[in-house]
């Protein structure tokens, strides 16, 4: 049933050109395979970082495409439930390439009047009502709001050393608009972030209202965003890639018990709070888990992440 719903929701949303193409479906005995279009163009983070300079207007253009995805899903009666930057890929390497949404693995059809209770999504982007186990499609607006905060500041709005801490910060709902670069960000942009990250889902702005917001309609201010945002964004992207790659590589070398603590370990591994993980920090963190990886293997892991993160 879950697979059938996923196939239907993907095909339903595919009517929008901003959603990634499901090319086909194969069933081999009890194995089901989804065939998607292949892309090597990377994410919008890659585009921003490669460009080397960045403005609110650039952020507004990218974010407008993201909200169009949310609006298309909701219009078609689909709740994505796992919106995050990694799930938006460039359609090509061309300068003006559009964004495409992918990974509808947690998406569901929205049933009128139904209250959803299962906890889903990725820690930084989870809406407070998901943690309270009572939510609807408004959670996609929250997640998109987190993406907008990252686009404008380079870091997520709710941050902690472990997943529990992140969830507590989300439930508390304090949003930092005082630290750099926020004093130089326009009030219109900050207003949109606030409306999207409203704790009460009933008072939260809708996807249609986001598209009508002045910051989106006017295309954002043509003023540069602090260059430090690009550096933070690059560090945040590299850290996410490191965690993913390490999980994949190390899982083959760790016991089941060690794997349970792997995610928490990586959030604590950045001991100097620099936003990046050094070779020594990685080696020390792995040693705490009793990893059997050799120094050469740890170095290879770091090199692999560096090559993918530049």
Question: CB of 88 within 8 A of CB of 100?
Answer: yes
CA neighbor of 213 nearest in space, from 199, 184, 193, 183: 193
**Which of 46, 58, 82, 200 does the annotation list as catalytic?**
82
Catalytic, 82? Answer yes
Residues noted as catalytic: 82
């Amino acid at each position: 049933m879950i697979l059938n719903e996923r196939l239907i929701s993907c095909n339903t949303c595919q009517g929008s050109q901003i959603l990634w193409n499901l090319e086909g479906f194969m069933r081999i005995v009890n194995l089901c395979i989804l065939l998607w279009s292949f892309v090597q163009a990377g994410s919008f983070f890659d585009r921003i970082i490669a460009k080397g300079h960045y403005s609110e207007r650039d952020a507004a253009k990218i974010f407008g495409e993201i909200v169009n995805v949310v609006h298309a899903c909701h219009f078609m009666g689909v709740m994505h439930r796992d919106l995050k930057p990694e799930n938006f890929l460039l359609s090509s390497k061309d300068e003006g390439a559009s964004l495409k949404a992918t990974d509808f693995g947690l998406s569901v059809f929205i049933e009128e009047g139904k209250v959803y209770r299962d906890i889903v999504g990725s820690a930084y982007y989870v809406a407070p009502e998901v943690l309270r186990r009572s939510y609807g499609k408004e959670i996609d607006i929250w997640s998109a709001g987190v993406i907008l905060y990252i686009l404008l500041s380079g870091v997520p709005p709710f941050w902690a050393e472990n997943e529990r801490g992140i969830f507590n910060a989300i439930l508390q709902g304090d949003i930092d608009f005082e630290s750099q670069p926020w004093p130089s960000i326009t009030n219109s942009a900050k207003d949109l972030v606030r409306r999207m990250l409203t704790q009460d889902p009933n008072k939260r702005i809708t996807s249609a209202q986001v598209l009508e917001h002045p910051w989106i309609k006017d295309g954002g201010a043509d003023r540069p965003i602090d260059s430090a945002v690009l550096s933070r964004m690059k560090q945040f992207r590299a850290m996410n890639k490191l965690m993913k790659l390490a999980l994949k590589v190390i899982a083959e070398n760790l016991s089941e018990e060690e794997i349970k603590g792997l995610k928490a370990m990586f959030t604590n591994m950045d001991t100097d709070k620099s936003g990046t993980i050094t070779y020594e920090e990685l080696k020390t963190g792995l040693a705490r888990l009793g990893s059997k990886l050799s120094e050469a293997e740890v170095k290879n892991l770091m090199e692999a992440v560096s090559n993918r993160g530049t």
